[in-house]
Structure formats: C-alpha cells, structure tokens
Amino acid sequence: MAGLIPQSFIDDLLQRVDIVDVVDKRVQLRKTGKNYSALCPFHQEKSPSFSVEPDKQFYYCFGCGAGGNAVGFIMNYDSVDFPAAVESLAAEYGLDVPKEATTKAEQKRQSENSRLLELLEQASRYYQLQLRKHPGKQAVVDYLKERGLSGTIARDFLLGFAPPGWDNLLKTLGSTKADQQLLEKAGLVIPRDKSQADPDSEDKEPDAPADGYYDRFRNRVMFPIRNNRGQVIGFGGRVLGDDKPKYLNSPETPVFHKGRELYGLFEARRSKRKLSRVLIVEGYMDVIALAQAGIDNSVATLGTACNANHLSRLFRLVNDIIFCFDGDDAGRAAAWRALQVAIPLLEDGRQVSFLFLPEGEDPDSRVRAVGKDAFLQSLDNATPLADYLFATLGKDLDLADLADRARLVKQAQTILSQFPKGVYVQLLLNRLAELVGVTVDKLPAAPGVEADTSARDAPATVEPPPHLQDWSRGNRRSATTRPGRGPDPVPDNSWSLKAIALILARPVIALSIKQDLSGLSRLNDQDTDMLLQLIELVRKEPHIDSYEMLGYFYGSPVGNQLTQLLKNEQITPTEGMEKELQEIIDSRLSSISRQAEIDRSLDILRDRLQQESETR
C-alpha cells in the first residue's frame, strides 16, 4: 500500500517517547510505587483503576480493560486512527512523519493535495481578516449578534466574511495562472466559461467577467469546514442579501467529499475529549448556536442526507446518536430516511433516537427560546428508534382489526430483517409480538431473524466484553450435536495461548520455529490463527519487541487479546522458553492438528457408510 508510515519510524518514535509524559499531558497521574495511577479517561469510575507502567511503556485499566502503548493511548483518547495518532505523537516531539516510497502519480497527488490544503487555510485566514477589517463588515457583525453569537464562538469556528465583488479572493491568492487553476481545484473560484456553458449551474452569473475566473463566495458569512485533523477542506457560505442559493457549499474536490464529512465534528471532539453522544442537526447555524449555548456535541451534514459513511464514522466515537428534525411532514420524512440508513449499523449496544421540534423551529431558534437546560432535557427524552419505528408503521392501522395486525407484522418484518443479528432485534420481535397480541414463537420468521422463544423461560445470560473474558476458556465455540454422535468437542486452544504468551514475553524465540506451520491453520480456531500471525510477524521483523507488536494489531480483535495477554503475563524465567515453545508447536499443537484431521476423515467415512446403509 502506498504512503504507509515506515515501521522503523514507528519503532523509533516509541523508543523516544515516554508514555508517562504522553498520558500526563492529558490525564492527571499520581505516583504509586514504581508506576502511576489515575481515574480512567475511558470509562466512569470513582476510584483509580488506570495504571501507567514506565518500565514497560504500557498503560492498562483494570476496570474497562483498555491498554496499550503511547500510540494506542492517543488513538483511544483522541478517537483517531493509527496513522493520525502517529502524526499527533510525532508532532509533540517535533518529528516529521516519513512515508514509504510511492508511485510518481501518488507523489504528485499527495503534493497537490498538500498545496490545496495550504491554499484553503490561506483562504480561511483571508475571510477571517475581512470579518475584522473590511469596511462592509458591520452587516456581518450585526447578523451574527442578532443570532446571539459571541466573538469567542466566532473565533472557535473560524467564522469569516466573503466581501461583495467578483474577484476579491482571486486578486489576493491568484496572482498567477497556476494559482488560479489551483483555486479552481480547491472550489474557491469558478471559470466564467464553465459556469455559462452549464444552463443548470447554480453558479451561473450573467454579469460575471467575460473571461478568466471569479470568486465562488461573494457577500456571504463564511463557515470553514474542517477535517478530523483541524485542516480546512471546504466552506459553506450564507448569503447576506437576497441572492440565491441561501446557502452555498464548496463543490467536491480532491480534499473535500460531502458524503464523508460532518460539520462541527472537529470542534465537538476538541471541546470534549471523550464524547458520550452526538446530536445530528441540519445546518451550520444549528451547530454553532448549540455550541454558543454550551451544547457542544452536535454535527451537521453538508447539504446531503445523512448516510452510512457519516453514521459509521460517528459510531466509532460514540454509541448514542440523536437525530434532530422539525416536527412537520418534511422533518418526519427526513427522520424515516435516517432510520433506514441507521438500521444496518445498529449492533447491540448502539442507540439511535429522534428529537422532533415544534413545527417551524430549528435547534438554533429552539435553544435560544428555551435555554440550555430545557434543550438538554428534551435530548434526554428523545424518542427511541424502536418507539418511532412502531409508531410510524402503526400510524394508519387499527390494531383492533386482525387484518391490520397482519399488515403490521408483514411491514415490520421487512424492516427487522435489515437489522444485524443480536439481542436488540430479538427485543424488537418481542415488542412486535406484544403489539399484535401473539407469542413471539407464533410470528412467521423474517429473513435473517430468528424468533427465539427460549428466552422467555430461560434466564438471560450476557457474555462479558472480550477484555474481561477468561482466556483459559478458549474460543467458547458452541457444541453442536450431529446425528448418531454426541456433541463436537470445544477446541482446546490453551496451548496456543501459552505459546502466544511465550512470544509476547520474548519475541525472538519465535525465530526458532523453522518448520512449515500451514497444517496448524486447519485447526480453524482464532487463538492458533493469532499465534501463526505473531510467528510470521517476528520472522519479518526479527528485532521487534512486545509493545511494538501491538502497533501492528491496534483496533483489531487480535490487538485487544494481545493487550490482555500482555498485561496478564506472569512468565519470569527466561531460560527454557525457546525449548518450551518448540515443544508446544511440535508435540501439543501438531498432535491436536493430526487428531483433528483424523477426526474429520472418520466423520467423512461415517457419513458415507450411513448414506450407503440408508440407500440399502
């Protein structure tokens, strides 16, 4: 893959940084013996269970199981991906992050994108300067004050002013033809011939200059749009006069994709390091007005409907999303579209709710009318997705009528089949059964949804999160009964876990494994697969240490398991570890693999004999 951060740089970075310094800048640490402790920043607790170990350059929370090295801490604390965490940590230490060699085309693209981002930043500073210095600024200042915004909030959101006139920005930043072409690529200026050639273009301006370029944004309040690193990637502009459209957004560019970005997300994450929920609203001013009132966890889509990309991105940060719409027909239609987008993403533990405002009001006007506390109360009382779903489906139905009950079941099952499998969809089935007055086992099964009747009589059991599981229990594969035989045994992977613990304690011993291990992959259990991945990693990176290993697997189930195993590691002797690992591979796992192969062959033979017997 082009543009990867070299592993050698990551290793060097981890050698330079001190995890105590990294964490202490963000969480107040207290010395406790040779380690440091604090209240965990990743879950609510009253007594400290969060520990930082300088010797291992490792952090771990005994309460929630979060753990890792300095890069992993930045990932969790700032809710960013691995490359962004490396960039952030390197910047703290004054280091430039190199990238592995790329193709010439990729190098050209990256260079051009860097120039576009720099140009967009310059444009943002220009618009901010005009808000402070331009002779016509008072109209903008009056507008912002009328909306109840302070100078502080204008500064935090980088609000600006695009003055009237055809070429203010163009003259400032487009002194050469190359600069003008780059401004066009950034979506800041429009070629006169292009806008006139398209009769449906919203940028068509009959009075524009006869040739060359002209500014896209003129006489508008400017709202810079920032990505997750705080870089300006585009703009929204609200007209001050009667021109159309009322709001104008940057077009799609190499650095700005409307269907992926959310206005206000950078500001929300900056104001609250750990978001608990996010409110999705419809406009720039809604986001800013709520922030002005002290509600700084709202975002807005950029002239597009909320899509799966938006929600997937938010669900990586929070488990609770609230949509806010007007209470009119248009608002309800938008809410129903949002519900349909959200459904495939509603894994267990995630929650979506809907806040419907009085008709004619938006979050901006509402929060100014009722104040912060009342608005927050309305968020707490937002309509859960399940309530909204069944209320909408049953709106025109009479559930006293048997035919209407049948219609509700049919409509609901079409939708329920789109939910991920899990407890939540089962609870929705239970709700549906209650509404139509039958037991859940009497509902016809929707595609992909099982009507689980055993839950009514058996006590509920909830699987603990992965980081709290007892790893000695193995994969917890469910036993299945086959005709004529007892249940399949649950694979015993404790030997794989033991081998992994040995490699984590001393990675270099994996180099002693010279034989072909492809046969072990047929065991088909996750711990043996993880062992094989670690051995392959050490073969590729012979000098890797335990904590550098985590950098390869952060954010994956393997990474979570390695973190737990590394924390629980109790191996202290260093002699004999290589021999013990070899013994596990040669004798224990190879024996299990051979026996599994024999069992499979016997199963095939039994099935064949059974079929022949039935044929006779």
pLDDT digits (tens, 9 = 90+) for 430-439: 999 999 888 8
Least confident of 92-101, 211-220, 462-471, 531-540: 462-471
| Residue in this structure with the two tokens 């139509």, named with its chain if needed | 436
Per-residue pLDDT averaged across 501-514, rounded?
A: 84
Determine whether domain 7-92 maps to CATH 3.90.580.10. yes
265-391 maps to which CATH number?
3.40.1360.10
Which tokens go with 340? 């349909």
Give the DSSP letter of residue 210: S
State how far the Cα of 332 lies from the Cα of 325, in Å rounded to an integer: 7
What is the separation of C-alpha 188 from the centre of its chain, rounded to a whole number of angstroms?
A: 30
Residues 6+ apart with CB under 8 A from 469: 463, 476
Q: pLDDT exceeding 90 applies to what percent of the chain?
A: 31
pLDDT digits (tens, 9 = 90+) for 402-412: 999 899 998 89
Which tokens go with 182? 């780059």
Give the DSSP letter of residue 139: H
Radius of gyration (Cα) for the chain, nearest Å? 30
Class of domain 104-249: alpha beta
pLDDT above 70: residue 578: yes
State how far the Cα of 207 lies from the Cα of 210, in Å rounded to an integer: 8
Confidence (pLDDT) at 400: 87
Least confident of 300-309, 415-424, 535-544: 535-544
State how far the Cα of 461 lies from the Cα of 568, in Å rounded to an integer: 26
Higher pLDDT, 88 or 600: 88
State how far the Cα of 325 lies from the Cα of 354, in Å rounded to an integer: 8
Confidence (pLDDT) at 542: 80
pLDDT above 70: residue 515: yes
262 near 234, Cβ under 8 Å?
Answer: no
pLDDT digits (tens, 9 = 90+) for 140-158: 999 999 999 999 999 999 9
pLDDT digits (tens, 9 = 90+) for 34-71: 889 999 988 888 888 898 988 778 888 888 778 888 98
The three-class DSSP label of residue 508 is helix
pLDDT above 90: residue 528: no
Phi/psi of residue 545, nearest 5 degrees: -110, 175
Which tokens go with 203? 């940028």
Q: Where are the beta strands (DSSP E) in 176-230?
A: 189-191, 213-215, 220-226
Count of Cβ atoms closer than 10 Å to residue 276 Cβ = 11
pTM score above 0.75 = no
Count of Cβ atoms closer than 10 Å to residue 230 Cβ = 12
Higher pLDDT, 262 or 457: 262
Q: Which of 594, 585, 587, 581 is nearest to 516 (CA)?
A: 585
213 near 173, Cβ under 8 Å?
Answer: no
